Amino acid sequence: MAAIIARVGPCTLEPESQGFVTLVDSIVSQQISVKAANAIMARITALVGEVTPEQLLRRTPEELRAVGLSNQKARYVLDLAAHVADGRIDLAAFPQCDDDTIVAQLTAVKGIGRWTSEIYLIFALGRLDVLPADDLGLQQAAQQAFGLDHVPKSVELRLIGESWRPYRTIASWYLWRSRRMV
């Protein structure tokens, strides 16, 4: 890791202030390119204005499909909006909750799994000890960084990451950034 840190430079990871938007973006981004996800998020913003649960719930799945969401992702985004709007998920309370509690609440929403929850912990809440071991990009970065002859699966990556506690988020960030430099 020392060589990666020296090459990448200081960590500039900062949490985003819009937790709900981070979750919507995470759903939109699932299994598509960053460029495609950014384009869809821009169209969603153009459609609803400020991306809030209330604004999204004013839209139909068909309207969300028209801006590029699949039928399934449109349902997921609306389910998330409903969970937040009716109080089943209280994003304002999350900073005081432990990671496992947050993951349990978020994964109750259709379309939000462990990976999306971990991305939220990192990029919305700024948690320092999160290792999204199911992230393929992170797995590939670990393969490159450690000269492995295979892409490590999540179980192996979690074992490797134990030595990074309590800063697994920072190590993950450096691994992600190292891929951009190749």
Could you give the residue numbers annotated as active site?
A: 135
Pairwise CA distance, residues 123 & 117, whole Å: 10
| Alpha carbons 120 and 102: distance in angstroms, whole number | 9
CA triplet 90, 21, 157: central angle to 5 degrees?
90
